[in-house]
A and B are shown apart, each in its own frame.
Chain A
Amino acid sequence: MINIDSLELSYGVDGFRLSIPRLKIENAEKVAIIGASGSGKTTLLKLISGIIKPQQGLITIGGIVINKLSDVECRDYRISNIGFIFQDFELLDYLNVQDNILHPFRITKSLSIDHHVRERMKRLAEEMGIVDKLKRYTTNLSQGEKQRAAICRAMVTMPKIILADEATGNLDPSNKIKILDALFQSADKNKATLIAVTHDHELLERFDRVIDFKQFCGVGAV
C-alpha cells in the first residue's frame, strides 16, 4: 500500500507548490491520475519513486518510508520494486531495443540477467509487438515502438509498482487499447499497483480509481 501523508513540495521561480494532505493507494490498485499540465502529476510519480524528495510529509510504501531512505537505499528500492515509464521514453540511443529493455539489470548489483529474464524480455516484446525490432537501435523506431520498448523496460523487472507517465500518449487508438491491456495484464500477473498519468479520458473507465489533481487545491483525504 502506498500512503502519502501531509506532503508538501515547492520549487522553481514560478512558485510551483504541491500539497497532498493524504493519499492512499491499495496494493494492485489501478489508479489514473488526471489534471492540467503543470499541476504536478509527473512530480507525484517522481516523489513516489524517490527521484525527488518532499520538503515535508511522508511517503510510505509497504511500511517503508521512501523519503527517509538514504540515496543508495532509495535507488536500490526503486530499481527492484518500481517500473517507471517516462513521458519521453528516455531510451538510450546507443543500445538496441533488447539492451534497452535489459538495461536495469546491467546497472545494479541487486538484479542479474539469467535465461528467465531473457525469456520474460522476449515475451514482453512479443506482447508489445516489437519482438522483431529487438536488434534495432531506438533511433530507427517509431514513436509508438519507442513507447512500447519503454513499457517493456519498466515491466521486465516485475516491479510491485508501475508508474506510467503518459504511457499511451504516443499511440494510435487501436494500439492504445492493446498496450493498456498488456500493461494491465502484466500488473495483474505480478499483483502490481499501477499508477498512470493520462490525458485519455476514454481510458479512465478501465482504472479502479481516478484521481483528479484539481482536488489538491483543497484539503482532505483521497
Chain B
Amino acid sequence: MIDSFYLAWRYIAFNRIKTLTLVMCISLVSFLPFALKILLKESEHQLMSRATTTPLLIGAKGNSLDLVMNSLYFSKEKPNFISMKAVEKVMSSYLAMPIPLYTRFHAREYPIVGTGLDYFEFRGHKIVNGRAFAMLGEAVIGADVAERLNLKVGGSILSSPENLFDLAGVYPLKMKVTGVLQKTNSVDDKAVFVDLKTTWVIQGLGHGHQDVKKIKDASNVLSRSEKSITTSTKIKQYTEINLENLGAFHFHGDPSIYPLTAIIAVPQDEKSATILIGRYLSEQTNQQIVRPKRVIEDLLGNIFQIKAFIDAVVLIVAIAMVLAIFLVFSLSFRLRQKEISTILHLGCSRSTVIQLIGAEILIIVMFSGALCFSALLVLQYFQGEIVHKLFIS
C-alpha cells in the first residue's frame, strides 16, 4: 500500500507556513488574469448595455466622457450646465423626444436625478410599490436605495447639502417617497428620482416660506410697499413640501434658463438622429451632442489597451513566479535529500519518491486552485459593485 497522499499531507501540514506562502503565491498569480478578465467583461457589459440603449445625449461642450458618465451612470463627474432652452430646442425640431436630466445633488451617497416621467418609460422601468412623483417634493427611489435605507412608500429621504461649510447654502429638502422602482440591475437601482422642479427647489431656485402678508412680528419686515414686501431671513423657510404648504412654493427668475446637466434625445429614427447631430455640429453653440455608444467604445478601447499592457505585466510576473516556485521546490528537494535517501534506504522505489513529491505538488496546486476559484466566485458575486466603484462612480 502506498499512502502518497497521506504522507504528502503530513509533510504539507507540518510545513504549513511554507505551504501557505506557496499556495498564496500560486493562487494570486492564477487569480489576477482571471479577475481582470471578469472585471473588464463586467465593466464592458455595464457600460455598453446602458450606452447602447441611450441613442443621443446633449450637454454642455467639454469632456464628452464626463457628460456620458454623469448622465448615464450618475457618476461624480460634473459637466457644465445647459439650460431649459436646450429642451425647447430639441422639442421644436420635431426630430427627437427630449428627456431632461439634472444630476447635481445627492441624498446620502445616492444621486438625486431630476427628470420627467418619460425617463421611466424610456428605460422601461416599472414602479412596483406606490406611484410616480406627481408634485413638488415627491420622490421615486431605486430598489437598492429602498432596501439599504429600509425605505417604503410614505417614508422620506433628505437631500444632502452640497457643502457643509457653505453657510449661505440652501436647506436640505425632505422628500416624500411615493414609489419604489422594480430592481433593474443598473445604476437606477441606486438613485432617487424626482421632478426637475424639485431639484431646482433643492438648489434654491424655488422655495417656500410663510406668507409675508401674514407676518405679525414687525421686526421681520424690512420694507413694505404696494408692490413688494422685503423681509428679514428670520421668516420660516419650509424644508418639506406638503399639501398645506405647496401653494407657498414658488420660483424666481426665468424658468427657461434653469439649469440641466444633460438631455437624453430619443430620435424618431436614424435619419432624424443624423439630422439632429448635423445641426449641433454646424451651429456655433455651447452645446454638444454625442452618441454615448461611441464615447463608451472609445473608453473601452483605452481600457482594453491598458488590459493588454496589464496582461503582459501579469504574464511576466507569472513567469517570474513560476521560476521562483521552481526554485523553491528544487531548493526544498535539495534540503530534503537526507529524507529522500532515508526513504530509499528503507526500500522505497524511486518511482514512489516521485509519486510522493508529485502528491505534494498536486495538493498544493489543488489548494491554490480551490483558493483561486473561491476568490473568483466572491469576485463574481460582487463584480457589479466593484466595477461600479472602480470604473463608473
CB-based contact B2/A92 at 8 Å: no
CB-based contact A108/B10 at 8 Å: no
Among A166-205, those with CB < 8 Å from B are: none
3 residue pairs, one from A and one from B, having the closest CB atoms: A79-B347, A94-B14, A107-B348
Segment with Cβ contacts to B, from A8-16, A25-33, A57-65, A98-106: A98-106
Closest chain B residue to A137 by CB distance?
Answer: B14
CB-based contact A76/B14 at 8 Å: no
Q: Fill in one digit per residue for A91-123: 1 if any B CB lies within 8 Å of its CB, else 0.
A: 011110001000111111101110000000000
Among A106-153, those with CB < 8 Å from B are: 106-109, 111-113, 137
The answer to whether A212 has its CB under 8 Å from any CB of chain B is no
Q: Fill in one digit per residue for A144-164: 1 if any B CB lies within 8 Å of its CB, else 0.
A: 000000000000000000000
CB-based contact B347/A94 at 8 Å: no
Please tell me the size bucket of the interface on B: 20 to 34
Segment with Cβ contacts to A, from B191-199, B280-288, B309-317, B338-346: B338-346
Please tell me the size bucket of the interface on A: 20 to 34
The answer to whether B15 has its CB under 8 Å from any CB of chain A is yes
CB-based contact B345/A108 at 8 Å: no
CB-based contact B347/A90 at 8 Å: no
Closest chain A residue to B353 by CB distance?
Answer: A107
CB-based contact B347/A76 at 8 Å: yes
Q: Can you give 17 A-B contacts (C-beta < 8 A)?
A: A49-B345, A51-B344, A76-B347, A79-B346, A90-B342, A94-B10, A94-B14, A95-B7, A103-B346, A105-B1, A107-B2, A107-B3, A107-B356, A108-B1, A108-B352, A111-B1, A112-B1
Rounded to whole Å, the gap between the CB of B354 and the closest CB of chain A is 12
CB-based contact B15/A107 at 8 Å: no
CB-based contact A106/B3 at 8 Å: yes
The answer to whether A217 has its CB under 8 Å from any CB of chain B is no
Residue with the greatest number of chain B CB neighbours at <10 A, chosen from A75, A78, A93, A107: A107
A84 to B346 alpha-carbon distance, docked (Å): 7
CB-based contact A106/B345 at 8 Å: no
CB-based contact A106/B1 at 8 Å: yes
A51 to B344 alpha-carbon distance, docked (Å): 8
Among B1-35, those with CB < 8 Å from A are: 1-3, 6-7, 10-11, 13-15
| Candidates B3, B14, B345, B352; contact of A84 at CB < 8 Å | B345
Among B302-353, those with CB < 8 Å from A are: 338-339, 342-350, 352
The answer to whether A72 has its CB under 8 Å from any CB of chain B is yes
Closest chain B residue to A75 by CB distance?
Answer: B347
CB-based contact A104/B347 at 8 Å: yes
| Candidates B339, B349, B352; contact of A92 at CB < 8 Å | B339
Residues of B within 8 A of A95 (CB): 7, 10, 14
